Every structure is written in C-alpha cells, then in structure tokens.
Chain A
Amino acid sequence: MLENLNINWRLGLMSSEISKKERFFIRGVDAVALGKLKAGCRFQTYYPITPATDESEVLEALSPIYGNRVYQTEDEIAAICAAVGAAEAGVRSSTSTSGPGLCLMVEGFGWASKNESAGFVLTHYQRAGPSTGMPTKTEQGDLKFVLNMAHGDSPRMIVAPGDHIECFYDTFDSFNYSERYQVPVILLIDKNIASNKIVIDGMFDETNLKIDRGKLLSDEELRKIIEEKGSYKRFSFDDEDGISPRTVLGQKGGRYWKTGDESDELGHITEDPELRVKMMDKRMKKLVTAYKEIPLEKKIRCYGPEDAKISIVSWGSTKGAIIDAMRELNWKLYDKSINFLQIKLLEPFPTEDIKKRLEGKEKIVVVEMNYLSEDLRNIGYTSQMGGILKMRTGIEPTNYVVKYNGRPFTRNEIKDSLDYVLTKDKKVVVMTRGI
C-alpha cells in the first residue's frame, strides 16, 4: 500500500501564503548545521571545498553560542581522522566535504566502519564529477561511490534528504543511527540543495525530536557488566543484534583497544580464522538490525495515487521538480496515473518495502542526475539508483530519465521526459536544459 504522507515540503520562494510567523531564509547547508547542533553535535572538522565549506562556516559562526568546536584541518584525511577520533572521546562529531574531498576520506571511513565508530556523521555534498569536475554545479553521481567506498566489506548507513526541511530532520536522525548502530553515517546531499535558499515559516518543528545514544554505557551500567562478566569487552559477541555496549575514552574502568587490523573482543589484533568470521558477522549484522528497526517513513516516501500504473523512482534533490510536475499534471498523463517513490534510506536499502510498492507496475521510471546513454543501457548498464534497485530488489527499471549537465531538473523537463517515455517508450531520456 502506498501511503500519502502529507508533509510540508513546499519550496518557500514559490509560496504565496503570507504567514505571521517569523520567516527564515536558509540554505541546505544551514539546515544541516542547525540539525547537527540540535542533535548535540559539538565537534566539526573540515578542509575548504566547494560547496561543503559553507556548513562549517555556519557552525563556526555559531560556536560562541554553543561552545561547539570547529576544526579546520590541513587536508580531508586529517578532517575525517580527527572527527572519528573525537567520536571515540564521546562527543557527537562530524565532517563535511564534496567530491574530491571524499576521495581522500576513504581510508579513514573504512577505519571508522571497522571500528564501529559511534556518533560520527559525514555530510557529503555531491557536485559534478569525475575528478575536480564542475565544482559549482550539481550532480547525483556519487551514490555508487559512497555505497562501496573503502576496501573490504564494511557496514555504513546512507541517508539522502530530498529538500531543505528533510535536511534538518535527517541530519538529526543520522546521529541517532550512528550511535544506535555504531556505524558511520553518510548524509548524501547535493550542490542543488546545499547552496540554494528557501524561506521557512517559523523554526523547524522540534516536538518529536529525541536523541538516542544507543548502547552508550553509564558508569553504573559499566560496573554491572564488569561484576557479571568479570571484564569489559568493547567488541563483545554477547549481543544478538551485533551491537556491543560501548564506553568512551577517559571513562573509568572502560578501557578498550581499537585497530584497523581485525581484532578480538577486546580490540587486540588477531588473524585467527574463527574470530575473523565471528567479528565480520557481528559487524555486518548491524545492517540487518537497522533494516528491521528503522520506521518506514524514514526509509521511503510515497506521493500520488497508490494504485498508479506508472511509478517514478528517485532520491535526493530531484524531489521538488518531480512533485511540482506531478501536481501540475494532477498525477496522470494520457490517462495513465503516476506516483512517485522517494528513497531516503539508501543503506541498508529498504528492499522489501520498495519491492512491495513496485511489483506489477506497467512502467518504473528512474529519475536521477547521473550518467546513462542508450548505448550503455544496451550493453547492460543502468543509472546509479537504477542499478542499485535492480541489484537489491531484482526489479529492473523500464525507463531512465537522467541529466548530467550540472544543472538541476526543472518541472517542465520532468513533464517532457514522461511524455517521451509514454508516447515513444524511450528507454533512456537525457535532459540537457539550463544555462
């Protein structure tokens, strides 16, 4: 069943409503910065890069109010390492970067994943790649990269907000995920959201916000564990969900070791084959735990008639253009009803929830801002989300609407591309508008 979540996503600039509330003019980076502070994040690192740096500048400007630390490092390698190190000390910490910066962060990210770092969130603002690419232009070209970055199999979570407002709430949730599941979380945003401004009426609604610090042990709880088990083990196998209770640096009696090498329950280096298998199982199991626990509305969002014949599947900043276009079309074209499935949680991928909503559709149209051509599709290639959809659910998209000229989709482009899909059954529609 498709649910119609009536959320307030409206782009403020287009709003004709006049509110009596105070109004705020914010960019995506501002929403993320506010979300970080609200979540209790008090440590941010960064190395200057477009367009991510703005977020750190906001955080530094607010540091006289909150006492949060903003640390400008000598490179992105130091940025991720310092943030992950800070998380070990118990502070909720983060770093933010863009394309080439993330490339440098890969090894540090692998370390954080292997060592079950908790309370660490990486904001990644995608820009047009590869390499330096077009630093001030937008793209959704890093999905495959963030899904797989770092060598070996390593767990992580990826959250992709679709607009400014989601940026605030998803940032807040990301810290909870990271502490609860003890995995690094990537907040996957793009230039389109990062630097564009919207007006919001009043502050974000904070009534339902709750901080979840996961299995962070109090001194009392730690004492109990030591009494019961004789000692404390940071990577203990005792918990069915794969998540071991954790202490932080400086905590009395909670000493632990961490290493990039495979380790035993205490955290010391091991190459024992049995321990290796158990430890891998424990680490990866957290993905299953997260998959089961996270509520549906935080995984996917559905808009339009649930029994539509055609489904648009997309993620991230394309949301605004798609919903605008669909509202104009009243969710149908040539008498074919259309709905829109927005995927928010990209890892662990909400396979079953998506499968349920896409099975039996006449057409599944993936819309995203990355590369595909007709020729490549003919030899088995897909767009990035298209490929992940196919890989995880076994459902192959029937059509792709892509754009990679660095400019965001417009609603007319969405309408026109659907026209191509419906009238000509064009498999790959490449949009190229924008100056």
Chain B
Amino acid sequence: MVFDIKEYRTDKYRNHWCPGCGDFGILSSLINALYELQIDPDNTVVVSGIGCSGKTPHDVNTYGIHTLHGRALPFAIGMKLANPELNVIVTGGDGDGYGIGAGHFVNSGRRNIDILYLVFNNGVYGLTKGQASPTLQRGAKPKSLPLPNINDAVNPIALAIDSGYTFVARGVAYKSKELTQLIKMGIQHKGLAIIDIIQNCPTYYNISDKLKIYEIDKNVCIFKKDFEKFEYEDRKTKEKLSFGPFKQGDIAILPEDKRKELLEAGIVEAYDPVVRYDIEKRNALDEKLIKGEISEDDYKKELEIIENEYKKDLIKKKTQALALSEISNFEVLITGVFFVNPWVPDYEERIRERLPENVREINPAKEIICDSEGKPTTDLTPAYKRFLV
C-alpha cells in the first residue's frame, strides 16, 4: 500500500458535527473506501454543498471544495470536464441535493458524468436547526417543527433512476462496512453514481430507534412463480410474522434464512440490479459485418434484436428498482444497490465522439496555451475562415 490511511484525513481541521451524528460514519466509510482503493489523494477532489454534510471536504485530505447551497454538482461537473483524469466525489445533504439543487440533480442524470455523489439524507435541515427537508414524510414531526410536516416526500432513488443516474444505491451511516463497499463500487462505476445514505440527526430527528434495516443482498428476492401465504417465527424475538400470498414477479422483503430457503428451492430469484446487454453476441455480429459474412440489412435486423432485448431488460430493471424504492423509507430501510446500467456512454465519451481525432485527446486543464515567453500557442487562422467575406 502506497498511501497510509492517515494520509486521507486532515489533521488541521475538525468538523462541527454533533456527538452521535451520522456524518461521522459516512466520513469514515468514505476515507476507508479511498484507502482501500488506494486512490491518489492529489488527484482527487471532494466537492460539497452547504449544510452539515457540506463540511465533509475539510476533513478529507484530498483537494476539497466547499461550494454553495445546492450547487455542488455543477461545480464538480466543471472540474471533471476540465480535467477528466480527476477523481471527483460530491457530498451533500438531502435539502441540498433534492431541494435547492433539484434542478441540477435531475439534469446531471441526463449527462452521466463520471462522478460519485453521496447524499447525506436525514430528513431535516440540521444546520439551520431542523426544518423539514424534501425527504421528510408527510405527517412526520421532528423536534423543531411547530406543526407536522405538510409536504409529501420525494423518493430520491426513483428520481435518480428516472433522471438517468447509472448507479443507484442506498446505504446507512451506521453500517460502515456495507457503506464502504457501496462507496467503492460507486467510485469504480464509470458514469454518474449516487448513494443515498440514510443517517441520524441526533439533535433534530432521531430515527435510530425506529429503523428496520433490510439488505438487498440478504433480504430482497423476486418470486419466480405464484406462492401461497406462509407463517414465519423470528428465531430471536419469537415474533410471529405472516407473508404472502405472492404472485409471479412480486418483489418481497423476507427474513434472511427464509429467503435462502426459497432461493434454494428455486421459488424465488435474487434481486439483480444490473441491466444486461448481450455484448458477446454484439461483438460477434460486428465481426461478421467487418468480415463481410453478413449483409447490412441482416446486420441491422440482428442488431435490432439485441437492442430490443436490452431495452426489455432495462425496463424490467428500472421497474423493479422503482417498486423496491417505494417500500423503502425512514422506517423500513432497504440498503444496497438498486440499479446499475453500465451501457450508457459517459459524458466524456460523448464529447470525444463529437470531436475529430486530432483534438480528441485534449485534456482542457492540461493544454499548453503559451510558450515560456507567454506567446499564445493558439493559431486562429482556421477560425477566421468562418468569417471570411
């Protein structure tokens, strides 16, 4: 290991979070993930908005840019487009990302820029003393609200999937091991990744005692056939629970051992978040075309079949993720990866596609713009042609 874990934490700054704040768990998971992946801190920037979460960059010993309320994503996108080699991680709160920054949240999805976005979601505006945030459910009454919340909550997972985020996950601040793993996956994902991280605000909205946490990998499954109602007794609590009946295609949250049993019996299948594309078939088809073994028309037909299969799977994966996100909230918390689509080109790829080969490799931030005497290197002659009378 080249970088020690200490390398990733600043020693000069200490944040102002309350004791017991979920932010501590997120911070240490982020640092662990950076360390485990041995990300070069000099080539990494953590960008944040405003709120308690906004202070995160000051505790991480990479480049740290603490921006404006709701604007972390545009700042981060500017950095990434200017220097595509940078590792860019954005941290922000629920009010920051889903409220004041909602426009940027949605539109960033359209571009699939290779950035990881961590949303610290606690249902309240903690830094301004606990007002209702966009993820707070109607009727909830955190400590500082004089009356219960009058607004409905947004569903950030569904919003992200619909906006075009290509890696969508949910974590929880206390489960550092799982969260570290999710952050690592998010960093490695090529494209726009979001992890909505449910956390406690011990001062204004304490949810830790209410939480029931289920993991997608351990508790979630999809029924392959119809299945009748069944009773289940929790081994620890001796609580009697009843499930079902289920129809084919139903998504269910089951106790871990029961899910395993049904999985082995072939009654359910595990939840698979990844959209499939038959790349092998596609490659073989492309090769056939190059070799002239297939006519253009037949190629188009075959390609359409592959593309249609992909579209079908995309719709299926989106639908199941949306359904799962609808049952996940502050009380019934489902963590893990909801949706991954590795087949959407990221923004950098799209830019490069539009540029001719000779300028495709330009990294705007590293372009030499003048010689040692300051003489500009840009030759405007070809540009003037556009304006010739």
Residues of A within 8 A of B (CB): 22-26, 30, 34, 37-40, 42-43, 45, 58, 61-69, 71, 73-75, 77-79, 81-93, 107-108, 111, 199, 203-204, 206, 209-213, 248-261, 266-269
Is the beta-carbon distance between A108 and B68 smaller than 8 angstroms? yes
Please tell me if B383 contacts chain A, counting CB pairs below 8 Å: yes
Is the beta-carbon distance between B67 and A111 smaller than 8 angstroms? yes
Within 8 A of A (CB), among B330-389: 351, 354-356, 359-360, 362, 364-367, 369-370, 373-378, 380-384, 386-389
Please tell me if B71 contacts chain A, counting CB pairs below 8 Å: yes
Which residues of chain A are within 8 angstroms of B81 by Cβ–Cβ distance?
43, 69, 71, 82, 86
Alpha-carbon gap, A308 to B360, bound state (A): 57
Chain B nearest CB: distance from A20 CB in Å?
13
Query: Among B58, B67, B354, B360, which residue has its beta carbon within 8 angstroms of that of A268?
Result: B58
If A37-B380, A66-B378, A257-B65 touch, whether A91 touches B386 (CB-CB below 8 Å) is: no
Chain A nearest CB: distance from B370 CB in Å?
4
Closest to B58 in A: A268
Alpha-carbon gap, A62 to B387, bound state (A): 12
Please tell me if B287 contacts chain A, counting CB pairs below 8 Å: no
Chain A nearest CB: distance from B353 CB in Å?
12
How many A-B residue pairs lie within 8 Å, measured between CB atoms?
231
Alpha-carbon gap, A261 to B65, bound state (A): 11
If A66-B378, A78-B71 touch, whether A90 touches B365 (CB-CB below 8 Å) is: yes
Is the beta-carbon distance between A203 and B367 smaller than 8 angstroms? no
What are some 19 contacts across the A-B interface (CB < 8 A)?
Answer: A24-B387, A26-B387, A40-B369, A64-B359, A67-B359, A67-B360, A74-B104, A77-B74, A77-B103, A82-B77, A88-B82, A89-B364, A91-B82, A91-B365, A209-B376, A254-B42, A257-B64, A257-B66, A258-B65
Chain A nearest CB: distance from B320 CB in Å?
29
If A82-B74, A88-B79, A249-B45 touch, whether A61 touches B366 (CB-CB below 8 Å) is: no
Residues of B within 8 A of A (CB): 10, 12-13, 41-43, 45, 47, 50, 55, 57-58, 61-68, 71, 73-79, 81-83, 85-86, 103-104, 106-107, 351, 354-356, 359-360, 362, 364-367, 369-370, 373-378, 380-384, 386-389
Which residues of chain A are within 8 angstroms of B12 by Cβ–Cβ distance?
266, 268
Chain A nearest CB: distance from B44 CB in Å?
8
Is the beta-carbon distance between A260 and B68 smaller than 8 angstroms? yes
If A67-B364, A85-B82, A89-B82 touch, whether A40 touches B389 (CB-CB below 8 Å) is: no
Which residues of chain A are within 8 angstroms of B10 by Cβ–Cβ distance?
268
Is the beta-carbon distance between A258 and B380 smaller than 8 angstroms? no
Closest to B46 in A: A257
Is the beta-carbon distance between B65 and A88 smaller than 8 angstroms? yes
Which residues of chain B are within 8 angstroms of A212 by Cβ–Cβ distance?
374
Chain B nearest CB: distance from A11 CB in Å?
15
Which residues of chain B are within 8 angstroms of A69 by Cβ–Cβ distance?
81-82, 351, 364
Which residues of chain A are within 8 angstroms of B354 by Cβ–Cβ distance?
63-64
Alpha-carbon gap, A30 to B380, bound state (A): 12
If A250-B86, A255-B63, A260-B67 touch, whether A85 touches B79 (CB-CB below 8 Å) is: yes
Is the beta-carbon distance between A65 and B75 smaller than 8 angstroms? no
Alpha-carbon gap, A165 to B145, bound state (A): 59
Is the beta-carbon distance between A108 and B367 smaller than 8 angstroms? no
Chain B nearest CB: distance from A92 CB in Å?
7
Query: Among B42, B79, B85, B103, which residue has its beta carbon within 8 angstroms of that of A252?
Result: B42
Alpha-carbon gap, A63 to B367, bound state (A): 14
Chain A nearest CB: distance from B25 CB in Å?
22
Alpha-carbon gap, A256 to B384, bound state (A): 40
Alpha-carbon gap, A185 to B248, bound state (A): 63
Chain B nearest CB: distance from A311 CB in Å?
36
Sorted from nearest, which 3 A-B pairs have the closest CB atoms? A40-B369, A85-B78, A67-B359
Which residues of chain B are within 8 angstroms of A88 by Cβ–Cβ distance?
45, 65, 75, 78-79, 82
Is the beta-carbon distance between A78 and B104 smaller than 8 angstroms? yes
Alpha-carbon gap, A272 to B254, bound state (A): 54
Is the beta-carbon distance between B62 and A74 smaller than 8 angstroms? no
Chain B nearest CB: distance from A324 CB in Å?
23
Beyond A65-B383, A77-B103, A268-B58, 9 extra complex contacts between A and B, CB < 8 Å: A42-B82, A43-B82, A58-B386, A64-B359, A85-B67, A89-B83, A90-B365, A249-B83, A269-B66
Chain A nearest CB: distance from B14 CB in Å?
10
Alpha-carbon gap, A239 to B128, bound state (A): 37
Alpha-carbon gap, A414 to B74, bound state (A): 45
Alpha-carbon gap, A40 to B79, bound state (A): 17
Is the beta-carbon distance between B369 and A203 smaller than 8 angstroms? no
If A34-B380, A37-B383, A77-B71 touch, whether A210 touches B58 (CB-CB below 8 Å) is: no
Which residues of chain A are within 8 angstroms of B63 by Cβ–Cβ distance?
249-250, 255-257
Chain A nearest CB: distance from B49 CB in Å?
10
Alpha-carbon gap, A417 to B374, bound state (A): 46
Is the beta-carbon distance between B107 and A78 smaller than 8 angstroms? yes
Among B12, B43, B78, B369, find the residue whose CB has the most chain A CB atoms closer than 10 A.
B78
Is the beta-carbon distance between A86 and B82 smaller than 8 angstroms? yes
Is the beta-carbon distance between A34 and B383 smaller than 8 angstroms? yes
Which residues of chain A are within 8 angstroms of B378 by Cβ–Cβ distance?
37-38, 40, 66
Alpha-carbon gap, A77 to B67, bound state (A): 12
Which residues of chain B are within 8 angstroms of A89 by Cβ–Cβ distance?
78-79, 82-83, 86, 364-365
Alpha-carbon gap, A111 to B48, bound state (A): 13
Is the beta-carbon distance between B68 and A74 smaller than 8 angstroms? no
